[in-house]
């Protein structure tokens, strides 16, 4: 769908307008929508009440220069101008429901939002923000990711407000604003330009101060010329300290105010002490100066941070950029025909039309008989997927064939695509042991660095006072734990991105730590080893009843089930109406129709009424009955997943014990198990039986459970690791650690391989980071490594860790 990309033209104090484009956010205005705000003496069109509210506030606060001098490139605009966002009283604007609908996901009274944090540099910053937010009443969950510089926070809307969360973060010195996917590139570009400017100042100054320093190396230089060179060096170094080094000083002051330590504390201390000592020497014409050391230090450190930022952006941009592909406008059905409307105004239950080649903007139920969709962005599967009537089509998919109509079932932050991106942030909620280890060690390492530096200064003061300062400076620089702080978070970000690109959603990153230790793999049968796409193979209807009537009864009951076995019945005939329906997990469904109670489900379920009943169909696995008699039998079956045998054999080759846990009959389960090479089969299990089996197996070692049925929820939650498929029940998906979108069991192999690679990468990062500090520390303390070489070594150490972590990205296929 084509979309206007016109921009606002600014000439002096005049701002021309486009009546088809919102003046505030520059998005297209829905047809028939008329709303204006007077800005700079003219009525400006708005596309929604949220933009109207924000624009009115901008005018009331006298911040109309936001419109006069803003960038006019669509997608680069902030939701609220920086000045307004920084006004404490106006943070309450983010509590406006019209504004929140763009970035807040709500479930009952719990609201969740992702915030972009400016100024977060390491694990210590993440720890500080997490501690601050946990002190707020009503905040239920805080997930801080220092690699992406984002925070995902959930709060009870009845006890807390978003403005309180933002204010709490602002109070400890960080800037927090709601994160929007479309702003990712603009924010990254803003930071990139800032780093380049600071690098440019530091680079030019370092060249000039080094050139002057060479002149000072000559012994025959007179005192007047030497002092002149010192003042020239001071002139070049001052902008570096005031401008280029500002992020380091700001982060250090922020940490000290909060009575915490981060890796910028020793960095800022080293630069400040070196500059002050040099400035004092210049003013008093005594001692030595270290201007070239300060400028080179700043240049190398900024270069390292700049490359870190680029690597982080590469690791997290893949999934986040998906939201940019969602169109801004959709066609919605009304009583008078089809109308164009902004996607953000679509609601659950609306019917929309998607033309061939267009991207589906929301999750919806297909109303047409068939459709072909490209889901490569979600699952990594390059081939179009066939969809039948009433199946779910997901936001981000591309309609490949004819125009289709959908009934919306999820919008905005509640779509699967938004969930993928949210999962990428929340995957670090339960931090693995090695991540917690890095967080703790890096904080204590900074304290140890400061103590060692103090002892070095005192010791060298008695050994050789002329070298004491120089050597202490080298110790401060060399032992900064930058690489140690990056070792685990960067690897985890790369692993999560790798899995997302393969169509595997990781909800709990701690699973990557546990998975290589798995001793037993428990697999469900229906929908796990088989495809879960069932069809009725055989039918048997007892006398005295019309077949159509029995079909309608079966369809009516199965409409209340999420089990894959129920789906063929839901399309069997028009559904009879039932009341007092009860869903008995692992057994079947009962309900009342026309005063008669019916049951549909497994053989064991109807045996409660008919204990001596014998099958008319030997392979029947679904039965319909009343208390008086059995009415019908069906054999419902599906195909085995094509990659099941290969995947299970791969796990078995690594010493993992495979066990089938199923509620199906022993005969059917044993037959499938023999074809797949599974020796241990436990059939006809109820949910509590599966749970007991997994708990017993956990005494022998960690257990990984794979299932997708409604009755698998408890056992998935209890296992050491759990996996389900996107076709599984909502309960299974909410209880599992991993959701495989591709529908392929081979995702289990990719998951295991990624866990092994991540563990190896993190071990290598820790080995390098700790080993480097153990080697460089004695060399710096004994005076064998100067500040410049220490700075270069620290920067190279961080870059090696980042490059090693990016292997997780490069190896994704």
**Alpha carbon distances (Å) from 718 to 91, 201, 528, 730, 755:** 42, 56, 18, 17, 20
Other C-beta atoms within 10 Å of 408: how many? Answer: 21
329-411 maps to which CATH number?
2.70.150.10
User: What is the predicted pLDDT for the residue at 235?
Assistant: 92
- Spelled out in words, what is the top-level CATH class assigned to the domain 535-637? alpha beta
Runs of H (alpha helix) within 519-563: 547-558
**pLDDT greater than 60 at residue 620:** yes
**pLDDT greater than 80 at residue 186:** no
Strand partners, 380: none
**pLDDT greater than 70 at residue 7:** no
Of 37, 97, 91, whose CA–CA distance to 67 is shortest?
Answer: 37
User: What is the predicted pLDDT for the residue at 534?
Assistant: 76
3-19: average pLDDT: 42
**Alpha carbon distances (Å) from 47 to 41, 54, 667:** 19, 12, 62
Of 704, 650, 747, whose CA–CA distance to 518 is shortest?
Answer: 704
450-470 burial code (b ≥16 CB/10 A, e <16): bebbeebbeebeeeeeeebbb
**pLDDT greater than 80 at residue 736:** no
User: What is the predicted pLDDT for the residue at 602?
Assistant: 86
517-524: average pLDDT: 90
Strand order in the sheet with 721-725: 504-506, 738-740, 721-725, 703-706, 520-523, 657-661, 680-682
Tokens linked to 421: 């991106």
Beta strand spans in 174-216 (E):
175-178
Kindly report, residue by residue over 364-384, the tens digit of the pLDDT: 888 888 888 877 656 545 567
450-462: average pLDDT: 87
CA distance 291 to 282: 10
Contact in structure between 216 and 233 (CB atoms under 8 Å): no
**pLDDT greater than 80 at residue 680:** yes
Which is more confident, 225 or 93? Answer: 225
Among 174-183, 246-255, 688-697, name the one with the lowest average pLDDT. Answer: 174-183
Q: State the helix-helix crossing angle for 433-463 and 747-781, rounded to 10 degrees.
A: 10
Number of residues in the chain: 813
Kindly report, residue by residue over 285-315, the tens digit of the pLDDT: 887 787 887 888 788 778 777 776 776 665 5
Contact in structure between 125 and 257 (CB atoms under 8 Å): no
128-153: average pLDDT: 79
User: What is the predicted pLDDT for the residue at 82?
Assistant: 52
47-75: average pLDDT: 62
DSSP letter, residue 742: S
- Topology of domain 509-531+640-736 in CATH is Rossmann fold (3.40.50)
pLDDT bracket for residue 239 (50, 70, 90): very high
205-210: average pLDDT: 87
User: What is the predicted pLDDT for the residue at 811?
Assistant: 52
CA distance 77 to 249: 29
User: What is the predicted pLDDT for the residue at 238?
Assistant: 92
**Alpha carbon distances (Å) from 784 to 218, 271, 435, 470, 787:** 23, 20, 33, 11, 10
User: What is the predicted pLDDT for the residue at 181?
Assistant: 55
101-179 maps to which CATH number?
3.30.70.100
Which is more confident, 398 or 69? Answer: 398
pLDDT bracket for residue 201 (50, 70, 90): very high
């Amino acid at each position: 769908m084509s979309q206007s990309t016109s921009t606002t033209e600014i000439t002096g104090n005049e701002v021309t307008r486009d009546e088809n484009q919102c003046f505030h956010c520059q998005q297209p205005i829905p047809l028939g929508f008329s709303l204006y705000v007077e800005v700079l003496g003219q009525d400006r069109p708005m596309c929604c009440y949220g933009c109207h509210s924000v624009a009115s506030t901008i005018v009331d606060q006298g911040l109309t220069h936001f419109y006069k001098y803003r960038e006019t490139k669509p997608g680069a605009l902030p939701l609220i101008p920086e000045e307004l966002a920084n006004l404490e009283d106006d943070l309450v604007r983010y509590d406006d429901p019209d504004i929140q609908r763009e970035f807040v996901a709500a479930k009952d009274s719990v609201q969740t939002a992702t915030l972009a944090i400016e100024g977060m540099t390491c694990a210590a910053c993440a720890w500080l923000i997490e501690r601050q937010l946990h002190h707020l009443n009503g905040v239920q969950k805080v997930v801080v990711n220092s690699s992406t510089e984002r925070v995902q926070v959930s709060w009870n809307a009845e006890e807390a407000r978003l403005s309180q969360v933002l204010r709490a973060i602002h109070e400890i010195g960080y800037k927090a604003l709601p994160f929007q996917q479309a702003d990712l590139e603009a924010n990254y570009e803003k930071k990139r330009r800032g780093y380049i400017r600071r690098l440019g100042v530091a680079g030019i100054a370092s060249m000039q101060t080094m050139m002057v320093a060479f002149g000072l190396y000559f012994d025959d230089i007179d005192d007047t010329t030497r002092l002149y060179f010192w003042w020239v060096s001071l002139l070049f170094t001052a902008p570096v300290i005031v401008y280029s080094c500002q992020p380091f000083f700001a982060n250090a002051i922020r940490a000290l105010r909060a009575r915490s330590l981060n890796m910028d504390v020793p960095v800022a201390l080293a630069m400040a002490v070196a500059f002050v000592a040099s400035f004092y020497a210049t003013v008093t014409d005594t001692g030595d100066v270290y201007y070239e050391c300060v400028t080179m230090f700043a240049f190398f450190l900024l270069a390292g941070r700049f490359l870190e930022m680029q690597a982080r952006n590469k690791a997290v941009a893949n999934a986040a950029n998906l939201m940019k592909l969602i169109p801004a406008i959709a066609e919605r059905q009304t009583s008078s025909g089809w109308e164009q409307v902004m996607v953000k105004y679509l609601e659950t239950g609306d019917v929309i039309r998607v033309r061939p080649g267009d991207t589906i903007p929301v999750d919806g139920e297909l109303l047409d008989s068939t459709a072909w969709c490209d889901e490569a962005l979600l699952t990594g599967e390059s081939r179009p997927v066939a969809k039948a009537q009433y199946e779910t089509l997901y936001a981000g998919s591309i309609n490949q064939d004819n125009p289709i109509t959908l009934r919306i079932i999820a919008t905005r932050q509640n779509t699967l695509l938004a969930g993928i991106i949210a999962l990428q942030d929340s995957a670090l909620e339960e931090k693995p042991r090695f991540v917690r280890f890095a967080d703790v060690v890096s904080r204590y390492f900074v304290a140890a660095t400061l103590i060692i530096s103090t002892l070095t200064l005192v010791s060298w003061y008695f050994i050789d006072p002329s070298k004491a300062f120089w050597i202490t400076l080298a110790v401060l620089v060399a032992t900064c734990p930058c690489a140690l702080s990056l070792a685990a978070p960067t690897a985890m970000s790369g692993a999560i991105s790798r899995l997302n690109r393969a169509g595997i959603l990781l909800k709990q990153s701690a699973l990557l730590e546990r998975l290589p230790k798995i001793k037993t793999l428990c697999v469900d049968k229906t929908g796990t080893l088989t495809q879960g796409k069932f069809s009725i193979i055989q039918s048997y209807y007892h006398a005295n009843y019309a077949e159509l009537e029995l079909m309608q009864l079966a369809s009516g009951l199965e409409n209340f089930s999420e089990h894959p076995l129920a789906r063929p019945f839901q399309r069997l005939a028009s559904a009879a109406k039932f009341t007092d329906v009860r869903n008995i997990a692992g057994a079947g469904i009962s309900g009342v129709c026309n005063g008669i109670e019916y049951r549909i489900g497994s053989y064991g379920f109807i045996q409660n009424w008919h204990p001596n009943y014998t099958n008319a169909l030997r392979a029947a696995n679904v039965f319909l009955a009343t208390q008086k008699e059995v009415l019908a039998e069906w054999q419902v079956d599906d195909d085995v997943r094509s990659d099941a045998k290969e995947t299970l054999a791969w796990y078995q080759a690594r010493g993992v014990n495979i066990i089938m846990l199923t509620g199906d009959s022993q005969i059917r389960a044993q037959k499938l198990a023999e074809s797949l090479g599974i020796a241990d089969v436990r059939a006809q299990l109820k949910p509590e039986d599966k749970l007991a089996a997994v708990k017993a197996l956990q005494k022998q070692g960690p257990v990984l459970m794979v299932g997708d049925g409604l009755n698998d929820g408890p056992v998935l939650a209890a296992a050491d690791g759990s996996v389900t498929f996107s076709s599984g029940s909502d309960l299974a998906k909410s209880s599992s650690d991993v959701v495989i979108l591709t529908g392929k069991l081979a995702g289990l192999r990719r998951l295991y391989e990624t866990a092994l690679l991540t563990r190896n990468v993190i071990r290598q990062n820790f080995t390098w980071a700790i080993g480097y500090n153990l080697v460089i520390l004695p060399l710096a303390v004994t005076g064998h490594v100067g500040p410049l070489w220490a700075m270069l070594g620290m920067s190279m150490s961080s870059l090696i860790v980042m490059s090693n972590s990016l292997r997780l990205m490069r190896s994704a296929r």
